């Protein structure tokens, strides 16, 4: 069994996170010092670069590798050189350090997924809950509000720290942006710290026989709400996303209708198929259109949501199906922040297993308790 536990190398804040996005993996690596980085997969070398320049003026490094190459090789080597002085002429760096990671792509059925959202910068308890499958985990989903907000660059480390604790750099991870991720001065630089499709936070991905679509609602209240102080324009962003969904449907054969797709997931931080009370009752027409497009064309098997800080299964036609859910949905995380009455953090998350016959949803706690175990 390929281990998901690996010691964190010196100078790294966490082990790498291998994000699946379209038909590539974007490997993110947070460091505690200035380094230049590349990744070897088989004979090929992939650099963290900007127009031919190896990047060192960042703590979060990113290398994109073809999915097909890493799925084939099942191993990658991170190579970094710690910079001594990056001067304009004759910059100096230490000798290279190499760390090799095993990698296991999603291969077949059953597929075992763990879902974490709304960690709000907690790491220890989401990792404890997220170890539910142990080394059997195939795919980790990080579904928004993992950092508490984007007000400080360091908050982004929580994404890689949780992924590192659960996967040890050895399993694919899917990331979606949450509404708290849109807040703070660093929110506009999100693409430097988290995986995006050329800066876009909505995209499709493949992971073995899974096809998935990550959607991003942005904020949960009108753009004009005083909380945002005139700093957002999510209505237009969501309209572009509607176009993106239509475009995916137009290219169905290359996407969800491809021959080897067995499971279809839709992942979104905000549960857009139910209408919350004001001022959270936004975009009913637009979200109704998203539901209709998904229901009539894409026909997903499961939707994974966060945001509401609860663990709950939402059946089609249930009391929270207001806009025509395309399939069963799950809200899958509940954080418990430390406070003066309860100094320890806690976390409830969601394990999912899928095979050809059934989907099983398990809600568990960071202390090993099973709250619910349901076959859909």
Binding site for Fe ion (CB under 5 A): 145, 178-179, 307
Q: Which phi and psi angles does 261 have, rounded to 5°?
A: -85, 125
To Fe ion, the closest distance from the beta carbon of 145 in angstroms equals 4
Residue placing its CB nearer to Fe ion in the complex, 331 or 352: 331
Start-to-end CA distance of the chain, whole Å, equals: 28
* Residue 246 tokens, joined: 């239509």
To Fe ion, the closest distance from the beta carbon of 147 in angstroms equals 11
To Fe ion, the closest distance from the beta carbon of 197 in angstroms equals 21
To Fe ion, the closest distance from the beta carbon of 309 in angstroms equals 8
In contact, 69 and 44? CB cutoff 8 Å: yes
In contact, 176 and 211? CB cutoff 8 Å: no
Residue placing its CB nearer to Fe ion in the complex, 99 or 270: 270
Residue placing its CB nearer to Fe ion in the complex, 172 or 271: 271
Strand 49-50 to strand 97-102: parallel, antiparallel, or no bridges (unpaired)? unpaired
* Residue 140 tokens, joined: 């980790």
To Fe ion, the closest distance from the beta carbon of 302 in angstroms equals 20
Is the bond leading into 279 cis (omega within 30 degrees of zero)? yes
Residue placing its CB nearer to Fe ion in the complex, 179 or 311: 179
Residue 122: name the closest of 374, 366, 305 by CA. 366
The 8-class DSSP code of residue 294 comes to I
To Fe ion, the closest distance from the beta carbon of 178 in angstroms equals 5
Q: Which phi and psi angles does 130 have, rounded to 5°?
A: -70, -10
Residue placing its CB nearer to Fe ion in the complex, 130 or 306: 306
To Fe ion, the closest distance from the beta carbon of 144 in angstroms equals 6
Q: How many CA atoms lie within 13 A of 260 on its CB side?
A: 8
Residue placing its CB nearer to Fe ion in the complex, 113 or 268: 268
To Fe ion, the closest distance from the beta carbon of 217 in angstroms equals 9
* Number of residues that this document lists for the chain: 376
Residue 261: name the closest of 215, 290, 296, 301 by CA. 301
Rg over CA atoms, the chain: 20
| DSSP letter string, 175-219 | EE--GGGG-SGGGGGHHHHS--BTTBS-EEEEETTEEEEEE----
Residue placing its CB nearer to Fe ion in the complex, 71 or 145: 145
Residue placing its CB nearer to Fe ion in the complex, 145 or 255: 145
To Fe ion, the closest distance from the beta carbon of 125 in angstroms equals 18
Query: What whole-number distance in Å separates Cα of residue 167 and Cα of residue 153?
Result: 23
Residue placing its CB nearer to Fe ion in the complex, 179 or 364: 179
Q: Using CB atoms, what's the residue nearest to Fe ion? A: 307
């Amino acid at each position: 069994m390929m281990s998901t536990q690996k010691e964190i190398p010196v100078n790294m804040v966490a082990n790498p996170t291998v994000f699946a996005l379209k038909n590539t993996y974007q490997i993110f690596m947070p460091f505690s010092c200035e380094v230049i980085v590349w990744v070897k997969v088989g004979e090929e070398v992939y650099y963290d670069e900007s127009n031919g320049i190896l990047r060192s003026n960042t703590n979060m490094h990113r290398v994109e590798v073809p999915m097909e190459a890493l799925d084939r090789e099942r191993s990658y080597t991170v190579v970094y050189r710690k910079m001594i002085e990056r001067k304009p002429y004759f910059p100096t760096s230490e000798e290279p350090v190499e760390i090799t990671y095993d990698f296991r792509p999603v291969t077949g059925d059953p597929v075992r997924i763990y879902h974490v959202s709304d960690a709000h910068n907690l790491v220890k308890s989401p990792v404890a809950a997220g170890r539910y499958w142990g080394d059997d985990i195939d795919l980790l989903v990080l579904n928004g509000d993992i950092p508490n907000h984007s007000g400080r660059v360091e908050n982004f480390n929580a994404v890689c720290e949780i992924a590192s604790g659960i996967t040890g750099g050895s399993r694919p991870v899917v990331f979606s942006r949450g509404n708290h991720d849109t807040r703070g001065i660093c929110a506009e630089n999100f693409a430097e710290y988290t995986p995006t499709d050329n800066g876009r936070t909505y995209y499709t991905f493949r992971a073995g026989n899974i096809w998935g679509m990550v959607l991003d609602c942005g904020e949960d209240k009108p753009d004009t709400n005083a909380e945002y102080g005139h700093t957002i324009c999510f209505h237009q962003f969501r309209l572009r996303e509607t176009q993106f969904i239509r475009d995916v449907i137009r290219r169905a054969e290359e996407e969800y209708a491809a021959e080897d797709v067995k499971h279809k997931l839709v992942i979104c931080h905000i549960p857009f198929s139910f209408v919350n009370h004001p001022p959270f009752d936004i975009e009913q027409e637009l979200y109704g259109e998203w539901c209709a497009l998904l229901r009539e064309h894409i026909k997903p098997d499961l939707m994974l949501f966060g945001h509401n800080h609860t663990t709950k299964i939402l059946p089609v036609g249930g009391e929270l199906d207001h806009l025509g859910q395309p399939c069963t949905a799950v809200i899958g995380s509940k954080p418990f922040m430390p406070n003066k009455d309860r100094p320890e953090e806690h976390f409830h998350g969601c394990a999912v297993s899928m095979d050809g016959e059934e989907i099983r949803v398990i809600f568990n706690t960071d202390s090993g308790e099973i709250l619910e175990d349901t076959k859909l």
